[in-house]
Chain A
Amino acid sequence: MSLRALQSDFCAFLRKDSATTLASVPTYAQRGLKVYHYAHRTTLADALADVFERTHGWLGDARFASACRVHIASHMPTSWTLADYGRGFEQTLALLYPDNPELADLAWLDWSLREAFNGPDSPEIDLAALTEIDWDRARLSINPTLACRRVGTNVALLWQALEDGRSDPPEAQILSTPAVLTVWRQALMPRYQTIELAEHAALLAAKNGASFGEICQAMASSAADTDAAAATAGAMLGRWIAENVVVAIG
């Protein structure tokens, strides 16, 4: 049997629901196949448990293990790094629990915090240099670790309660107004925040290359009070700089 054929058969064996036999392995050595079959599933389930710790806490052991089995059966690991295996787990949860949207939101938050943890480094802004900037024409570089998700649940409250180990976490609730959850890393620390849709629109505009002047104009055009809109934009920019959401201004 060629090496390629042997390895293809071995991988097909690993992906089966239960350990069987392999023609390339002599009868007396077949017992060892179970070790590889078991280790493959355990490794993937452990990787999911490592990343989705808060989701696991919310679901409980039995339901989380069941969700892992479904995900493993339907998602072939392809990346060189096990750290990538959790990508898309929130979609598995959305399919399994369509009436519990907080689960997919929680999983997205767990995943995005881990991604931010290992994401690219960014410089701190030199505050002294800001005095020379033409703010109308200034373009903002957004932190490369920033991830955003429109959420309809109180996921941030739930996640924090689980993080704090509270014995009485709040109940999952549907928000009256959808919001956007953002995740990024400030220095070495992953952070998350719930923001309003208007701020998210401004962030997207900045990411797409709009100048700060254009962002201010867009905010003013949709506000009743243009002075208040300008003040809001200024405060928003100040927060983005202080929290390293903006990493460079040019």
Chain B
Amino acid sequence: MAETLLPPFAGFGLGMRPPHYAAYLSGEAPVDFVEIISENFMGHGGRPLHTLDKVREIYPVAMHGVSMSIGSADGLKADYLARLKRLADRIEPIWVSDHLCWTGIDGFNSHDLLPLPYTQEALDMACANIGLAQDLLDRPMLIENPSSYISFADDSMPEWDFLAELTRRTGCYLLLDINNVFVSATNHGFDPLAYLDAIPADRVRQIHLAGHSAGRDGLLIDTHDHPVPDPVWALYAKVIRRFGEVAVMIERDDDIPPLEELLGELELARRLAVSSESLAA
């Protein structure tokens, strides 16, 4: 498809998770948008879609997927794409995103976000798959940088170059997860600021902020079960101004606290963005 401009959406949002459905259904949650896990609403019907339809009447919705597997050598699954498109047509989201990863091959699905080797062959495959998905969805996608715990012997470029090349070749945009940058930087020993400096700022449409856990063997694990930690806030504060108008979101998937706690984190994200603007002025 010819490159399509995706207008920016500036705002502060949260993931739509079951413990907080009531607040979203009543419209009382003071957020600018909500993000859904697309797959949780790709069933045939019932309460999930009923709830989403009601929430969509009140809030803009971003669709965030975990199963497209854009890096799989098998290519994309037609059934999955058809269901994703049906949901996107129904919800009319701000945008549709998924991860720079693969989830399985030869009929096996790990249901995990597996790391890609950063090679020319993987780049060609990911570009072909993203192009196909964008054509079928009839909209540009956002691709999120992953957290990773290994590298590959065949890697021939850093992740930031791989992402930049993806955007250049496919016209896709980026969902930049600051926590994932911090986790991968710690695990692989690179400079997170160098990574963020190399990302094409004009392609970033959304930012994720999340927490992580310390695993065994000295690795950080992207668990989304803790508040955003200070080093991730510090990175965010340093770079947020560079990305201009973006949608910022607190991502929490486990040990989900009361909504007020997440709103407190979101307020901090807002304040840091404003103070970053003030410092620049």
Known: A25-B151, A77-B109, A188-B46. A32 touches B73 (CB 8 A): no
Output the nearest chain A residue to B149 by Cβ-Cβ distance: A32
**Bound-state Cα–Cα, A85 to B216, Å:** 28
**Bound-state Cα–Cα, A24 to B114, Å:** 14
Q: Is A129 an interface residue (CB 8 A)?
A: no
Size bracket of the B interface: 35 or more
Q: Contact between B73 and A119 (Cβ–Cβ < 8 Å)?
A: no
- Of residues 7 through 66 on chain B, the ones whose CB sits less than 8 Å from some CB of chain A are 39, 42-48, 50
Q: Is B80 an interface residue (CB 8 A)?
A: yes
Residues of A within 8 A of B (CB): 1-4, 6-8, 10-11, 14-15, 24-26, 29-36, 39-40, 43-44, 47, 76-83, 85, 116-121, 185, 188
**Bound-state Cα–Cα, A32 to B106, Å:** 23
**Bound-state Cα–Cα, A42 to B106, Å:** 22
Given contact pairs A33-B150, A81-B42, a sample of 9 additional A-B residue pairs in the complex whose CB atoms are under 8 Å apart: A7-B72, A11-B108, A11-B110, A24-B154, A25-B150, A32-B150, A40-B112, A78-B107, A80-B80
Q: Contact between B50 and A188 (Cβ–Cβ < 8 Å)?
A: yes
Q: Contact between A40 and B110 (Cβ–Cβ < 8 Å)?
A: yes
Q: Contact between B114 and A36 (Cβ–Cβ < 8 Å)?
A: yes
Q: Contact between B117 and A6 (Cβ–Cβ < 8 Å)?
A: yes
Q: Contact between A121 and B111 (Cβ–Cβ < 8 Å)?
A: no
Known: A3-B122, A25-B153, A80-B67. A118 touches B108 (CB 8 A): no
In this complex, the member of A3, A77, A79, A118 whose beta carbon has the largest number of chain B beta carbons within 10 angstroms is A3
Known: A3-B119, A25-B152. A118 touches B111 (CB 8 A): no
Known: A8-B106, A31-B217, A76-B108. A121 touches B150 (CB 8 A): no
Q: Is B121 an interface residue (CB 8 A)?
A: yes
Q: Contact between B105 and A8 (Cβ–Cβ < 8 Å)?
A: yes
Q: Contact between A76 and B102 (Cβ–Cβ < 8 Å)?
A: no
Output the nearest chain B residue to A121 by Cβ-Cβ distance: B45
**Bound-state Cα–Cα, A6 to B154, Å:** 10
Residues in chain A near residue B216, CB distance under 8 A: 34
Of the candidates A3, A33, A36, A188, which one forms a contact with B117 in the assembled complex, judged by CB atoms under 8 Å apart? A3
Residues in chain B near residue A82, CB distance under 8 A: 39, 111
**Bound-state Cα–Cα, A32 to B114, Å:** 12
Q: Is B219 an interface residue (CB 8 A)?
A: yes
